[in-house]
Amino acid sequence: MADAPAPTVPPVPTTYRERLAQFRILEEKRFELIEELLEKLEKTEAKLAQTELDLNSEQNVRRTLQAEVVEAREKESAMAQRQARRPFALVLIDADADGFLFQDKYLTRKAQGGEQLADELLIRTREYLRPQFDDADSMDILVRVYANLEGMANYLVRQDKVRNLGALRAMSTGFCGRISSFDFIDIGVGKEGSSGRKLRENLSFYTSSVHLRHVIVACSPTDLPASLLSNMPLEKVTLVESMPLPTALTTLPIKVTKFATLFPPPPSPKSPRPRGRNGAQLQLMQQEDADGGATWLVINPERSKSQGAALRRRNASEDENSSLSISIGPDNTVSVDSGRRRRIMG
């Protein structure tokens, strides 16, 4: 095998010009290296400057966010202090709704009954709130009762539970005067002033208050659609149940309670009204009196449709629901009322 040829050795420059040409080539390579290093340095400095700008920008953003967090915490703390300064619970009652007419012992005792109603309502409200709030005993309790007093009085007069509207007004006055934050509001007659509308408006207004801890609502389920409640903080709301609530409300995450000492239990749907001869309705009622109880036997005559129409055509003053009431008082006084009252002393 033949040996590999030896590498060619460049000739050694012999003259000064050849040596100068060699130095020029080296100098040019050195300049190229310096140019390359300078170019890389400039690019690195540009990147460093951009990075510094980005860092400053991020620092500014972080400082802004930190300032916003501190401000938000201060606002939250201030709000918590304001809420703790004067918290309150609210009770809204539609006394015109079925099942929410107060018990007779409050309605029939004029001012004394109103005062007793206010005391009982305050006791039961605090009793309900204590398991939920540590400061329930120091919390302000606001009560708004809405009713058409004239319509309520007419109903109670027909039931022979009060004598006139004045007795019911005395009850509402006693209720309001007993506790300064309790109001019994007469909304008058008319659809536009209905107690249900008043209650809904107050519920929407107060649930947005930062001071409100809880609201207890007693009204007809028809006046509280699920669509209205779903837009409220339900953890702040409790419904008072007198009659069974519809499924649309029971499926909501909302609290339900009963105030049995305030509202009478609903009548049993299976117990028919007792009837006398000729279709007359007999009703036995118990009315509590300041001097003791009195038992009332009420006879409501049943009229046919033609009789009712005849009365309306004549514009008769007799009430279609007129009745004969016989009462026996605690002092054995017998009272008969058939439009004209007669008393027989026993």
**What is the pLDDT, as a whole number, of residue 24?**
83
> Measuring CA to CA, which residue among 118, 157, 171 is closest to residue 141?
118
Amino acid at 85: R
Helices (H), the chain: 16-85, 104-107, 110-129, 149-158, 165-178, 195-206, 226-229, 247-250, 305-313
Q: Who has greater pLDDT, 145 or 99?
A: 145
Helix (H, G, I), strand (E, B) or coil at 292: strand
Contact 222, 99 (CB under 8 A): no
* Most confident option among 115-124, 229-238, 326-335: 115-124
- The yes-or-no verdict on residue 128 having pLDDT over 80 is yes
Give the contacts of 112 (CB within 8 A, at least 6 positions apart). Answer: 174, 290
**What is the pLDDT, as a whole number, of residue 308?**
44
pLDDT band at residue 107, thresholds of 50, 70 and 90? very high
CB atoms within 10 A of CB 110: 20
Contact 181, 143 (CB under 8 A): yes
Rounded to 5 degrees, what are φ and ψ at 277? Answer: -70, 155
Give the contacts of 28 (CB within 8 A, at least 6 positions apart). Answer: none
- The yes-or-no verdict on residue 52 having pLDDT over 80 is yes
Contact 168, 162 (CB under 8 A): yes
Q: Rounded to an integer, what distance in angstroms lies between the CA atom of residue 80 and that of residue 74?
A: 10
pLDDT tens digits along 310-341: 444 444 444 444 455 555 555 555 555 554 44
Q: In degrees, to the nearest 5, what angle opens at C-alpha 70 toward C-alphas 68 and 74?
A: 115
Q: Who has greater pLDDT, 15 or 169?
A: 169
**What is the pLDDT, as a whole number, of residue 284?**
45
Give the residue-averaged pLDDT of 175-180: 94
What 24-33 contacts at long range (C-beta under 8 Å, 24+ apart), as own/partner pairs, is none
**What is the pLDDT, as a whole number, of residue 313?**
44
* Mean pLDDT over each residue of the chain, to the nearest integer: 78
CB atoms within 10 A of CB 132: 13
pLDDT tens digits along 148-171: 999 999 999 998 988 899 999 999
- The yes-or-no verdict on residue 120 having pLDDT over 70 is yes
**What is the pLDDT, as a whole number, of residue 32?**
86
- The yes-or-no verdict on residue 264 having pLDDT over 50 is yes
Using a 10 angstrom Cβ sphere, with 0-12 exposed, 13-18 middle and 19 or more buried, the burial of residue 188 is middle
Contact 128, 168 (CB under 8 A): no
Q: Rounded to an integer, what distance in angstroms lies between the CA atom of residue 21 and that of residue 19?
A: 5
Bridge partners (DSSP) of residue 324 are 299
> Measuring CA to CA, which residue among 88, 89, 101, 93 is closest to residue 217?
93
